[in-house]
Structure 1
């Protein structure tokens, strides 16, 4: 994971579009990103992510498409880690830790379906 995958997003720039296949996890370093749904031509904001927050961790455990669009609400810096890189590191983890992460991922998935 030594490769630099940092991105700077301008205000209004999209990180992901609703329905996109999640291939990476994004760590917000600075700025803010909103998650929203486009319904009836109007955006419905469902969450805001700021520094120290993660976008896309659910894709470690599921092949689902993005349920939301993600857009920077101000200049934002994120670090993108491809899922295949994260999965290699997870395979090397202690089995108990893997089980904890899997359980957390399942809980997150269930909470987002409510």
Structure 2
């Protein structure tokens, strides 16, 4: 019985966390090149050429659209960041045209 109750609580928490995150306007930064090859929170190695990002609360493996001005990119969340809105790989920051800025205002929309 306790297992059933625990499973129901976890199910509700997962549904709530996915539905609670809608479109978010936040500040984006990008990972420094020194992190290339280091392990991420998901356990995979960080690749500066991959379309990935770190987010403080979205589930690992989530796919989001990040928009800066008229440009957008789809990234997979594979790491955590502490005080950031979203931390992009250098490749994703390049595609958005914001890498030279260091930080930029972006819109984050979950896709999957």
TM-score, structure 2 as length reference: 0.28
Q: Which structure has the highest strand share of the two?
A: 1
